[in-house]
A and B are shown apart, each in its own frame.
Chain A
Amino acid sequence: MKIDPIHQFNIEPLFTIGHIGDHTIAFTNSTLYMFVAVALISVLMLASGRQLVPGRLQSVAEISYEFVASTIRSTAGAEGMKFFPLIFSLFMFICVSNLVGIIPYTFTISSHLIVTAALALLVFFTVLIYGVYKNGLKFFKIFVPSGVPIYILPLVMFIEILSFFLRPVSHSVRLFANMLAGHIALKVFAGFVAMLGVSLGAIGWLGGVMPLALTVALTALELLVAFLQAYVFAILTCIYLNDAIHPGH
């Protein structure tokens, strides 16, 4: 028995939809789980009750709403609420798909760099376009921190510009690497249990208790990471948008 911790990341085309140039556009397992996430969010937000005293599902929906809203208000101010639908969509999409991905035999959308990079670039261009649209050339003040002596200003500006353009890289790689590494670790430790049992018999099954316990602990950790990475992605989006709304500080 071989452990194959990478197999879970395979993109498996279920059927072909069409072609763009020489690329085949297929409905894949990734597509399926994207729509699963969209469907779950829609059910949560649209099928929950509207009672004065909320039930469980309604509480989850309202807590998600208030959580994202307060995150935006505290990091990007009241003007940031313009981007509430975008940030809420990003947070819920990543959070729900990450949580679904922890269920065994499911697929984790955000374990693919192309997906996280697309989301990070969406944020990057939103910041860039809105910042220039709203503030004009003043937007580029974010590269010129105030109170820096003139003789090191070029260096600081260079670093600021570099870090600005590296934002989508760190933004996307952080989420992708966390999900990828977490799922590989889970798979490896879970694989040890079966491997020990098959190769060593009764002693092996007994010895398998330890990696099993570790798998359980890792699953709990992955639950935390799944939520935390969605939160980190959302709060970084807020911070970047704050630059576009209030440049020059």
Chain B
Amino acid sequence: MDTSEAKVDRMAGHMVRTATQSSIELKPIYNADDIKHLFYEGDMGDPGTYPFTRGLYPEMYRNRLWLKSFIVSYATAEETNQAFRQYIDNGLTDLRLLCDLPTQSGIDPDHPSAWNSMMCGGVATYAINVYEKMLEGLPLGKAVFEFAHAGMSSFLYFYGLLVAVMENKGVDIKKLRGNSINDPIRTKLVYGCPDFPTKVDRRICLDHIEYSVRNTPNWRPIAPNGVDPCQGGMDAIKELGGCLAVASQVMKDLSDRGISIDEYGPMVFALDAESDFFETIAKFRLARKMWAKIAKEQFGAKTKRAMQLKIGIRTSGLSLTSQKPLNNAARVTLQILSCVLGGVNSLDASSIDEAIGLPSLEARIFNLDTQHVITHEANIPLVADPLGGSYYVEWLTSHMEQEVNKYLAEIEARGGVFSCLESGWLNEVMEAGRLKVQREKAEGKRLIVGVNAFREEGEEGPINSAIRDVAYKAPTVAARGEKVAEVRAYKANRDMRRLKPLLKELYRATKEGRNTQRAVIAAAKEGMTIGECVGVIRVGYGINYDPFREIEMPDFVREIVKE
């Protein structure tokens, strides 16, 4: 769906905007006067030194390039496993695990509400058997895993599965590397996930973090997510502000559990690479600077590690168009470039056919190759923070810092980020942002090439058509039916004498306010499904078993509650 076309002279052309994508008004030129309030030490600093504006490491990409990652998710565990192996052969170093949409909402494939989206968006990873198949033959101790699911139950449960699989295979779980998004604000703000109410989200978020800090030190158990709020309508200021607010709140909550920021270690943010080139670069530089300051000044961080913010990127899916999809190659290339210039740590770039369906293998390889061209032909990563010292970029970074601070103060004045979520204020802010963009597009104040401008009949030739023809096909009714039968058979064949006491322990841990993560791992090993995990925790919390209120609590859960 898009707005009507703005009339812009194709050949002559003129700029229609004087402001960035986030409506920061710009002058046509910046000079030394604009940055005279900045100090090199303290505002910028060499790469590898506080406040890390210019990068986390002294030699940046010379030592290690950014991690290249994709969300790899197909309808079946076997296909997904195949794809993982193929990508690893092609230079992919980071495995983003996802599952289908019902699973992300916390229900099993045999739940009545699962039918209409089953096996869409990923594998129906309802229990450990599926995970074992999906991870078969992959280097568990060496790979980097990322969880980008929607529901908060997913992080608790799938981390549990990953640990369970490693333990079963005798791999040391201390070797587990990667991160969970595990952001309780994003999950409700953007996805309205039904699995748990916010207060449960907030508790299990901390359970997961606490367990991970003590047992899997190389796992980053939260990565506040700005990508999805940004796609939902937040501008760059509010995207970054939101991440900082979530990270700060979690650090406060963790200190109540006796975990200091130094014990926690480096923070990770999942940020959006948007189309506005310099604004995006400034945002990445600023994110590192602001977190370093918050960690040091507000949380008293003493170690360098704890002041360091790692940035994981998802490039803007929303910026991609289904009209003239070839243009997406230009968009994604610029977005990747902004990430490299901004010194990010890992990069999940969109594929050019993503606006049409799930990405094809070829489009993904093209995407990896783009990153190789930037590295090996254009030599971009040879020097750290090449834009450091630019009048414009330094001014923009500094200006955005003031704006983000204003936004943070407003969140604080409204009682903190959770109050802002529950009062609906964050939603209003996001919705207003979304409508603003919609209005600007309709009024021709924001041009999207091939959509509301530069769109003529007959401009699309065979290259564009070819991209469009790689159509994704949703699983058939028969395949869905087979999945339901498979789950039912799996559930029927478990050893309930072993599983029941473990479910009971999860119920009790929830009810008594103890950490639930270990109980989830133990029960997952014996076949507890995602739906049961969600249901038992809900019941332990005193709310109804099924988040959709469609199915009854299974008898064995009823028995546990009675005992």
Whether chain B is bound by chain A comes out as no
Interface residues of B, Cβ cutoff 8 Å to A: none
